[in-house]
Chains A and B, each alone.
Chain A
């Protein structure tokens, strides 16, 4: 069972935490590699949310609302 997709903000926050960790430079090599992989994954996810999502304008149906 896969975990629910993080929101854009959550993904971006996690990506920036990973960057900080790598820049600190204290992660052992195999951890650095897996961090980088996760970072790439999050980057692609964020990009998809910005570019892939379609903007939509809807009108509220007037059912149930008082007549004007």
Chain B
């Protein structure tokens, strides 16, 4: 029949009304709300951080707040426009009668969430040294057996196997197919990796997958898989990423290859080059051996020559020695003395040196350098 008369109404104060509504709202459960960050306001000396969540489709807005310390602890580096999911409950800011959300935690949503998570994982693993250059091992030059872990698509598997066999026909390859996308892919790849590393003679592994979107490649940035690759007992090549994306497994492997041909080039040598090198060695071997023979032949010839001339040489040397002695002999002989003007005086057979033995009228023979004569002593003085 009309509104009750003024004296009969229940009338609340604004404060009481707001308090009442606030209490009702407090009964509502915590929920997740997804939206775009707008009007993000944060100051070091404010106790709370404020933002407005916007529904990108309808434009509906919801003011929100979060204790600054909790917000900072998340370290999300949020900016206006970022898509997020907020967990919290509705509340009424009583002084203003304003509905807002009290946020307990925030997570990035959509692609951004993956990217951010990957960045964080990458930083953490890098800090641990999982990607360190010192950990990278060289690949064997001539592997006994190559293991290939790959998906079932032709590009990765077929192209790599073909490239390897073309480059090095005697290659032995062990192919292990496994799921390379989907939620269980990472665990499957880890198990397959373990299996091939345990197979006999495997001394290098290639992990490969064909092209794909960012989401398709996500399993190859899975933490357990990345650690398994880094800790693989056998040197490992990652042929997963392309120019745009670098999944974390590329960083953890010993080498990365961007194409199947590149992968083949890394794991096997070129058989043609090996043949050429062998042929060159063989030719050098023959040359070296022949030279050794020739050189020794020359040496032998020279020795033979010397041997032939040796007797003549010997005689020549002897003759020279004899001549030298002869010379000395001549110098020492009496002939030379006689030539110098001395005479040999004899009385009978004896050669005289002392005049005292002579008496006048003794007969003596005098030999000169040329000729001799007899003479009688007239007078002798000692």
A37 to chain B, nearest CB (A): 9
Known A55-B165, A60-B176, A60-B195; contact A19-B142, beta-carbon cutoff 8 A: no
Point out which of B281, B286, B296 has the most chain A C-beta atoms below 10 A from its C-beta. Answer: B281
Which residue of A is nearest B173, CB measured?
A57
Q: How far is the CA of A15 from the CA of B284 in the complex (A)?
A: 10
Known A29-B293, A46-B278, A68-B188; contact A58-B288, beta-carbon cutoff 8 A: no
A19 to chain B, nearest CB (A): 4
B-side contacts of A32, CB under 8 Å: 288-289, 292-293, 296
**Consensus secondary structure, chain B interface:** helix
Range class of the B interface residue count: 35 or more
B-side contacts of A21, CB under 8 Å: 288
Asked whether, in the complex, the Cβ of A55 is within 8 Å of the Cβ of B170, the reply is: yes
- How many residue pairs between the two chains, A and B, have CB atoms under 8 Å in the bound complex? 116
B-side contacts of A50, CB under 8 Å: 170, 271, 274-275, 278
Q: How far is the CA of A64 from the CA of B282 in the complex (A)?
A: 49
**Consensus secondary structure, chain A interface:** helix
Known A53-B170, A65-B178; contact A29-B296, beta-carbon cutoff 8 A: yes
Asked whether, in the complex, the Cβ of A43 is within 8 Å of the Cβ of B281, the reply is: yes
A33 to chain B, nearest CB (A): 7
B-side contacts of A23, CB under 8 Å: 284, 287-288
Task: Please encode chain B, from 171 to 215, with 1 for each CB lying within 8 Å of some chain A CB and 0 for all others.
Answer: 111111111000010011001100110010000000000000000
Known A32-B289, A55-B169; contact A12-B277, beta-carbon cutoff 8 A: yes
Interface assignment of A4: CB less than 8 Å from any CB of chain B: no
Asked whether, in the complex, the Cβ of B179 is within 8 Å of the Cβ of A68, the reply is: yes
Range class of the A interface residue count: 35 or more
Asked whether, in the complex, the Cβ of A57 is within 8 Å of the Cβ of B175, the reply is: yes
Q: How far is the CA of A12 from the CA of B273 in the complex (A)?
A: 13
Which residue of B is nearest A26, CB measured?
B292
Residues facing B in A19-49 (CB within 8 A) are 19, 21-23, 25, 27, 29, 32-33, 35-36, 39-40, 43, 46-47, 49
Q: How far is the CA of A12 from the CA of B282 in the complex (A)?
A: 11
Asked whether, in the complex, the Cβ of B170 is within 8 Å of the Cβ of A15, the reply is: no
Asked whether, in the complex, the Cβ of B285 is within 8 Å of the Cβ of A15, the reply is: yes
Q: How far is the CA of A57 from the CA of B179 in the complex (A)?
A: 20
Which residue of A is nearest B185, CB measured?
A68
> B291: which of A25, A51, A65 is its contact (CB, 8 Å)?
A25
Top 7 A-B pairs, shortest CB-CB distance: A22-B288, A32-B292, A53-B170, A60-B176, A36-B289, A39-B285, A29-B296
Q: List 5 A-B contacts (CB under 8 A).
A: A8-B142, A29-B293, A52-B170, A65-B191, A66-B187
- Which A residues are closer than 8 A to B by beta carbons? 7-9, 12, 15-16, 18-19, 21-23, 25, 27, 29, 32-33, 35-36, 39-40, 43, 46-47, 49-60, 64-66, 68
